Amino acid sequence: MEPKKAGQNERKHKPALNFLLLSAGSVFTSMIVAGFLVGYAFDVLFDTTPLFLLSCGVLGFVGGMMKVHKLLGKMELLDEKPMSSVSDSKQSDKE
């Protein structure tokens, strides 16, 4: 049973990582909504068909994907730090 517990401890994430994942979803959604709102405002301002609505919505989607990718990159950096500190402590034990 002990190898199972060790595996569970390795897979357990810090609470900060959970909040980072939660914020990634809200950031993605807000970027899309903001894109559509800006596009709607431009359509009303210039009296056009939903040309700006769709184009700004797509730009919001692309910007949201880029932002989530950047946040998940930070998550990988946070996740790697404990592993490197564990390997550093193992190396110091060998010496």
Helix ranges (H only) for the chain are 2-11, 15-46, 51-94
Judge whether 23 lies within some domain.
yes
CA distances from 83 to 32, 46, 74 (A): 35, 55, 15
Residue 62 has pLDDT above 80, yes or no: yes
Residues 4-35 pLDDT 10s: 555 555 556 577 778 888 889 999 999 999 99
pTM for the whole structure: 0.67
Judge whether 88 lies within some domain.
no
Residue 60 or 87, more confident: 60
Judge whether 84 lies within some domain.
no
Among 3, 30, 24, residue whose Cα is nearest residue 76: 24
Averaged pLDDT for residues 29-49: 96
Check residue 19 and give its pLDDT. Answer: 83
DSSP state, residue 10 = H
Judge whether 90 lies within some domain.
no
Judge whether 70 lies within some domain.
yes
**Is 84 exposed, middle or buried, given 0-12, 13-18 or 19+ CB atoms closer than 10 A?**
exposed
Domain count, the chain: 1
